[in-house]
Structure 1
Amino acid sequence: MVVTTARTRTRPPAGRGGRFRALVREARSWPTILMIGLCLLAGIPLTIALTPDQELRILGQHISVGARTPDLSLEGPARLVQIGNTELDIPRLQVVGPLRPQLEMGPVQRNDDAARVLNPDTTAEATAQAVDQLRTGFVNWYLLATLGVVGTALAAAALVGCARVLGILRREKASEHVTVADVWHRCSGTIGRMSLLAVTVSLVAWGVCGALAYTGTMRGLAQVSSLSDLVGSARVTPAPVGPPVFGYAGAVIGDSRAARVGGPPVAGPEGDDVACERSADSLAAELGTMIPGRVRNLACPSATVAQGLRGPQQRGNVQVPAQVALLKQMQDLKFVVVAVGPNDVGWSDLIKYCYGVETCDDNLTRGEFDYRMAAFDRDYAALLEDLAALPSKPRVVVMTSYDAFPRDTDPACPDARGPSYAVGLTQDKIDLLTDRNDQLNAVLRAGAEKYGFAVADPGLTLLCSPGTDGLGPDLQGLTDPFAFHPTAVGSLRLAATVARVVGPLDD
């Protein structure tokens, strides 16, 4: 009994100096050093990886704010994660330490909130609001992660403390008078000091990480004046293909609407005229009868910006060079007409889908259309930059996409009703197709206006329109070989519209 009493005797409380010296001694002990190393090398990276991102709605876009998973490097860039663009490092924002910001977004949504940043009257306000929301989102994430840092520090202290208690019990297991309560009484102060050291060191280190992240981000943003500055640029313009070409006043690049599939073949075909099914009454051919000088047709069916205009296109066994690559070899051009867009957003797939189902405004096709629109927006911007850099500085005319049906279409119209096995188009479906075509045209116009290019809006008589002028339909119907494509009359009307926009040519 005497021994037990001696072991459990309570020491008088130490003064401030004694508590500080005890804390210093504890900081030098190897279990505490091990615990601090565990907090710094494992606790902070684990907290960064496990802290959930903050979900925000900024300018109509869904954005998640957080930090990228730490690696073994001492310094690294922030990161942008976007659907369709995977993980994109931001080289301008170099951060020392494990805390490197990450934004996740996409696909880009087009709505009224997003349009605010493009409106000169609201750009400054919208930008400031977006920056405030991002700052608040990251601060909230940082505060939430701070709780995680404290939690992992306490967990590390508890783990090492339990190990110390078990070590003492193992060393003194031969003594019958030593109990767990005795050991805990002897170690409680030690464990308390360990916990205090773990939390203090972790919070100081976490504060340093936050300061480094803020400093690196602000230093990088100070050198940024555009989106390209921020994320870098990997744009490669198509290289010229073929020998220099002379003797043309203009050229037409684009898809099957400009190639005029279904028309009479050109007499004496050259180059890829056969592979691209170019007609003798194509947009380029009709323009050549209205404007002084020859007009070269480079358009090809199924062409998109990426595969057709800026990159080569496979047509059967023939690989057609990029239309821009051929365009670059044309000397002294006065104008270039661009007809692109529907293939990039999968327009034919959407129309077929609407013919075959009861309703085609489901969220799956909505998301797919938005994704394709976002991709087209990027590709189209690169195309416009290519056209703006043409050495002859031709006048560029962007042709918008025409609708297939008027908004007040009679569902009983054969072209709207479709084949006997199809569900057909209702007014709601036609409204949906019209609205999405309007979105495509909005992108076409916005890009053209940015570069000072002209825009031509085709004035065609649509399918199922009441009455005609006696010249025949402007668009091929479902019973024709190439539904929704211009007829000979339609091609003539397209050319007349473009010719008015091109205007007189300088000698």
Structure 2
Amino acid sequence: MHKTSIAWRRWALRAAIPVAAAFLLLASLWMAVRITPLQSVTAAGQTVDVGAAAPGLGFSGPGEMDLFGQTIATQPQFPGPVRPRLRLTHITANAELEQLLGSSDKNSAGILGSQLSAGWLRYGLWESAVSAGIVVVVLSAVTGLRRYSLRRTVAVLASGVVAMTAVNAVGFVLLASGTPTALRHVHSLSDLVGRNAGYPVAPADGPSLNGVQAVVIGDSTAAAIGNRPVAHPSALDKACGRSADSFAEQLAAVNNWNVLNLACSGATVRTGLLGPQPAGSLSAPAQIAQLQRAPKARVIIVSVGADDLHWADLTRFCAASPDCDDRVTDAYFQQQTAQFVMDYRDLLTQLAALPGHPAVIVNQYYDPFGPDTSCLAAEHVDAAKAKTLQGRLDQLNTALQQGADAAGFTSVQPSFAGHALCSAEPFVQGPKDKAPLHPTAAGELAIALADQGALYEAERSPSTGQTSSGDSSSSGETSSTGGP
């Protein structure tokens, strides 16, 4: 009986060795994919990091595109369980602007695909070395604990390296042999996410507005909806909800600027900034087309994103639901965010291509709720719901900041600390006000101060030659907040 027990343990030990070895190899591959540095490639005015996504279970599927913190499945399908992971890190608009947006010149655009393919191959070599190193570390610990002889230790380590190399050869060379070819067929990032971006938006018709030093584009936050209307408003001013309390007006007064505020309530990147927007019975022209009528503007301030994500609808749904942190709502939000970051890239690219290269400031969104939500009890919004909504705003702000960083722009987040919705002196309009959760006049001033601080820092920085406070002597006007 004793001999049978010993034999059983020996058999179990021998059977466990290949299982443990397979686990070690696969775990090393998984870990190496996560820690191996991505390989940076530059082509067509953009810098992309190339690496591998976490291995999947299928033998083919999409890769991953990390765009401003949002993971998007690529349009091309790649063979093998190990597929590319790509991350956009830098945008520069130059002579290759059409490549960035989806060029028809496949010969020159092919440079990007070749660089991506080369980056993938370099990454594969680095990953093989890292995974082999992981195996060596683990096996060194095992052989040390078991006090193997030097000769046996070397044999075990060599066997581990050979086995890990074989696994990488199967994963990267054999099963993913078609990946380099697939990457070489990528002519622009639009090919990766399956979009056909349009050509740069043409300037709007009309005379040049040479006296404008700064332009504000964006949504209802920039329009300052719910506050005092602008003096002598046009029909479009009224339809867009533009206010005399907007941060555009505040910046105009402080700097003695002529600021053109093109913001319109309900504007999104695609419908409002890059394309026309219905505004009541009117149609607001594309804001980026209108701003090009101000060729001497040295500063562009952007406030956009909330309407792209249907923030108002999400807030109302959250208030009406027992719990707004459910999977369905989150999936909807992630889908809208993925769409937004792709549109946002198009906007950033076209802003970077503006003649004169004005300084661009991208405004993030403020925290409207703060720690106290007692005044929202009647609206069925408690601290947990407010935390969920703020978490989604934080995700939007992350995308706004990472996109601005990639384009070399400045991103700022105004602080409403101590002045949230339920505070004694809120910077946010309440549920019964004209535009709930939008900034009050004081809130717009806080945004203006954040932007002014960013402009001041940019002027002090010797590396930022394009930022200027403007030349107020070029025009006798000090403010122009309505549409032209």
TM-score with structure 1 length normalisation?
Answer: 0.57
CA displacement at 1:303 relative to structure 2: 0.6
Query: 1: distance between equivalents of 2:447 and 2:383?
Result: 27
Could you tell me which of 411, 436, 445 is aligned with 1:492?
445
CA displacement at 1:101 relative to structure 2: 5.5
Give the aligned residue type for 1:497. Answer: A
Could you tell me which of 364, 378, 381 is aligned with 1:418?
378
* Partner secondary structure for residue 275 of structure 1: helix
Could you tell me which of 417, 420, 423 is aligned with 1:463?
420
The alignment yields a C-alpha RMSD, in angstroms, of: 4.1
Give the aligned residue type for 1:299. Answer: A
2:301 corresponds to 1:337:
yes
Give the aligned residue type for 1:312. Answer: P
Query: 1: distance between equivalents of 2:252 and 2:231?
Result: 15
1:327/1:61 CA distance change after superposition, 3 Å: farther
Give the aligned residue type for 1:221. Answer: L
2:428 corresponds to 1:475:
yes
Query: 2: distance between equivalents of 1:478 and 1:349?
Result: 14
CA displacement at 1:341 relative to structure 2: 1.0
4+ residue stretches of structure 1 with deviation over 6 A? 56-64, 79-82, 114-119, 123-126, 129-132, 211-216
1:249/1:228 CA distance change after superposition, 3 Å: same
* Partner secondary structure for residue 484 of structure 1: coil
Report the structure number with the largest CA radius of gyration. Answer: 1
What is the percentage of aligned positions where both structures have the same residue?
Answer: 34
Query: 1: distance between equivalents of 2:439 and 2:121?
Result: 45
Counterpart mapping for 1:134-145 below 5 A: none
CA displacement at 1:292 relative to structure 2: 3.0
* Partner secondary structure for residue 296 of structure 1: strand
Could you tell me which of 192, 196, 201 is aligned with 1:234?
196
* Partner secondary structure for residue 237 of structure 2: coil
8 Å Cα contact 2:80/2:176 also seen in 1 = no
CA displacement at 1:223 relative to structure 2: 6.7
Counterpart mapping for 1:179-218 below 5 A: 218=180
Could you tell me which of 345, 348, 369 is aligned with 1:405?
369
Query: 2: distance between equivalents of 1:394 and 1:358?
Result: 47
8 Å Cα contact 2:201/2:274 also seen in 1 = yes
Counterpart mapping for 1:26-45 below 5 A: none
Query: 2: distance between equivalents of 1:117 and 1:297?
Result: 31
Deviations 1:370-421 (A, max 9, x none): 1011111101111111110111211100000111111x32x4x22x2134xx
8 Å Cα contact 1:250/1:335 also seen in 2 = yes
1:245/1:62 CA distance change after superposition, 3 Å: farther
Query: 2: distance between equivalents of 1:371 and 1:253?
Result: 24
How many residues end up aligned between the 2 structures? Answer: 331
Counterpart mapping for 1:272-291 below 5 A: 272-291=236-255
8 Å Cα contact 1:403/1:462 also seen in 2 = no
TM-score with structure 2 length normalisation?
Answer: 0.59
8 Å Cα contact 2:421/2:429 also seen in 1 = no
8 Å Cα contact 1:290/1:499 also seen in 2 = no
Could you tell me which of 295, 310, 316 is aligned with 2:274?
310
1:125/1:362 CA distance change after superposition, 3 Å: farther
8 Å Cα contact 1:305/1:380 also seen in 2 = yes
1:357/1:288 CA distance change after superposition, 3 Å: same
1:458/1:214 CA distance change after superposition, 3 Å: closer
Counterpart mapping for 1:245-260 below 5 A: 245-260=209-224
Q: Which runs of 5+ in 2 are unaligned?
A: 1-29, 35-52, 66-71, 91-118, 129-172, 457-467, 472-484
8 Å Cα contact 2:73/2:193 also seen in 1 = no
Q: What residue in structure 2 maps to residue 441 of structure 1?
A: 397
Q: Which has the higher contact order (CA 8 A, sep 6+)?
A: 2
Query: 1: distance between equivalents of 2:415 and 2:177?
Result: 56
Deviations 1:291-319 (A, max 9, x none): 23200110000111111111111112111
Give the aligned residue type for 1:240. Answer: P
CA displacement at 1:218 relative to structure 2: 3.7
Q: What residue in structure 1 maps to residue 408 of structure 2?
A: 452
Query: 2: distance between equivalents of 1:383 and 1:399?
Result: 14
